[in-house]
Chain A
Amino acid sequence: MWRLVRTMWRVGRIAVPAPEKPAPSAGASPTATPLPWSGSLQIRHVDAGSCNGCEIEIAAAFGPVYDAERYGARLVPSPRHADALLVTGPVTRNMADPLRITYEATPSPKRVIALGDCARNCGVFAGAYGVEGSVSDIIPVDVEIPGCPPSPEAIIAALRGLTDR
């Protein structure tokens, strides 16, 4: 335990300083606005068929170095507790209905964030036999984060657009 204490003392703060607050991009969808009573965004992550590359970047974004929680975003286990769905991967045939059910289960007002090229337009898996379509084919998408995988800075910028912090 004392080794742990010494490490904590030595390392101190790992989180990088917060970059400048991003201006809302011109081509953003009209629904990509922060929720009313913002500053708080609970996110439910849904893996609709991804290769887990985006999940690693999400883990990095919420980890100590980039620390997405300081902007008011938090991952929650149940869609009922969530304000936004963070969907990764092209939507496979098996995950199409669960994704719709998850969307229905989320209380309004809600946002859907399509993270990664696969979620936006099926990426490298476009036309594969197991893929139903992109996320916007199944549920309405509000924010898109391009990249394969998107960098944690991009994820954080998109989240900050929704939390307004």
Chain B
Amino acid sequence: MSTQDTVISVAAALVQVALIVVGAPYLTGLMRQVRARIEGRAGPGVGQPVRDLRKLLHKEATRPEGTSVVFIAAPLILMASSIFLAAVIPFVSTVAAVGGVSDLFAVVAILLLGTVSLALAGLDTGTAFGGIGASREVTIIALVEPTILLAIFALSVRVGSSDLTDIVAGTLASPAQVLSPASLLAAVAFAVVIIAEAGRLPVDNPSTHLELTMVHEAMVLEYSGRDLAMVELAASMRLALLLGLGVNLFAPWGVATSLTPLALLLGVVMLIVKVALVGVALAVFEVFMAKLRLFRVPELLAGSLLFALLAVVASYFLT
């Protein structure tokens, strides 16, 4: 790649990061506003999460006695992993500045790294709720791992590579593949994966007040101030990342394949539009969903595993 191309793709990556960091709270706000309007309420407005974050940054940060560096480092690791993923996942363009960082297995594993750091922080607080949240979270992610990797397997078959840029470029090159049985089955499996990883209904209720029903919230009960701001922002970013990953794997139209300014601008606009649409759809879906009992969640995940397995088998026989 020429120097100019490298500079442009690095700039595109930075634009992606900025877009996700700034846009993720608005996505959360949009989803809450849609839910409020459907429920007949007026809602606080799309920008409320931004106001919440701004206020949190100026509040006092506390640290429970008896916690260690793990408690302080976990929000940092969460944010760092989210920012890194925002830079390397091909949201806006498929021309990567650096090779070897956007492999789909690595992306999934880095998401897992963030979750693990929060689980360790939950254990570090030494409270029963933190431990319960950590234990439930690692159980859910352990059970969702096979679905994720099998879905990646099914997606990688068509292009012969598990690198995200290759998969997205391959889907752009032959759009009819999106409607193949393997792709559709993988899309259903991936939808369940997004819900489980982002902690949305029916796997986890992000706005519950009852500690015994919490999974993600239970791990962050002790955070305040700027730590809490980082945790909340990272949670919104992870949701945005997962939704963006989903749309780019299964509906990548609009992603730039060259580094011209017009193509990049179109990529940015299409990303915003697509993620907003999927976010609204998820919010509407959640209105009709109740949270599953914790021990019914493995049944849901086993069902999604079946879909992913069928997707792989279909890709063997039906390509």
Contact = CB atoms under 8 A, between A and B. Distances in A.
Contacts of B54: 37, 40
B288 to A, nearest CB: 6
Interface of A: 1, 4, 8, 11-15, 18, 35-40, 42, 64, 67, 69-72, 74-78, 80-81, 83, 105, 107-109
Contacts of A105: 62
Nearest to B40: A14
Interface in B6-56: 36-45, 48, 51-52, 54-55
Interface residues of B, number: 34
Contact of B60 (A1, A15, A81, A107): A107
B211 A8 contact: no
A67 B42 contact: yes
Interface in B210-244: 210-211, 214, 217, 221-225, 228
Nearest to A104: B62
B59 interface: yes
Given A83-B55, A109-B59, A77 B42 contact: no
A76 to B, nearest CB: 8
A83 B59 contact: yes
B58 interface: yes
A114 B217 CA distance: 27
Contacts of B59: 83, 107-109
B61 interface: yes
Contact of B40 (A37, A64, A71, A107): A64
Nearest to A5: B288
B296 interface: no
